[in-house]
Amino acid sequence: MATPPPTSRLYPIVDVDALSQRGIDVLAFAERVLEARPRYVQLRAKSLGGRDTLALLRALVPLCRGAGVPLFANDRPDLALLAGADGVHVGQDDLPLGEVRRFAPNLRVGLSTHDLPQLEAALELAPDYVAFGPVFSTSSKARPDPVVGVAGLSAAAERARIRGIELVAIGGIDRARAGEIAETGAIAAVIAALLPEDGELRRVPELARELESALAGG
């Protein structure tokens, strides 16, 4: 199992739909993201069927292992297990965390939460990390949950810190807002901020490192 770089606070989400809209190859994008050695990488493939998602995960596993970065599958513990990924990220309406661990005890599990009651319930289950958001407004979901803001994130970060569980901030995080995330100590999940406007993949590692620097308070 890959070991996360201990100082990284960047969590890129490789979103197949967002990349397809810009004509960017998924694996080529992931390779450039991994040059920055982020803490985790997640494959998000909402519009793909199981067969195609599994194929992508299997192609990503050796890339992520080579970079020493854990790979998480979105929503699908079965595909994560079949592909040999490190973990799975599940939402409030997905397979419950307890069932995921019963089905695949060696998978790391991250769990999405959208308010403090959900966060407290998630922390009781001791996932490998808890995601909290959206912190800012986001276009990555058709029906996003209400924005929690930086104040809400700070409250969540304190609760997670007490439990010794990593907190991942998600939703609308870009270079300009990364400094606000840095103040909370949270890891930042990012989609759009890593997508170059001109589609030039050579810019991706630079964008990732700029975000990483901002998240470190630089």
Which run of H or E residues covers position 156? Answer: helix 149-163
Structural domain contains residue 172: yes
List, for residues 18-51, the tens digit of each pLDDT value: 999 999 999 999 999 999 999 999 999 999 999 9
Structural domain contains residue 173: yes
Give, to the nearest 10 degrees, the angle between helix 204-215 and helix 26-34.
50
Q: What is the DSSP letter of 146?
A: P
Q: Which domain holds residue 109?
A: 10-215
Structural domain contains residue 5: no
β-sheet bridge partners, residue 110:
89, 129
Structural domain contains residue 65: yes
Token representation of residue 73: 């599958």
Structural domain contains residue 3: no
pLDDT at position 141, please?
66
State the total domains in the chain: 1
Q: What is the CATH number of the domain that holds 163?
A: 3.20.20.70
Structural domain contains residue 148: yes
Q: Supply the pTM of this predicted model.
A: 0.94
Q: Tell me the residue length of the chain.
A: 218
Which segments of the chain have a pLDDT < 70? Answer: 1-6, 140-142
How far apart, in whole angstroms, are the C-alpha atoms of residue 93 and residue 34?
30
Structural domain contains residue 40: yes
Structural domain contains residue 1: no
Residue 103's nearest CA partner among 72, 82, 118 is 82
How far apart, in whole angstroms, are the C-alpha atoms of residue 139 and residue 153?
19
Residue with tokens 């929503």: 75
How far apart, in whole angstroms, are the C-alpha atoms of residue 141 and residue 143?
6
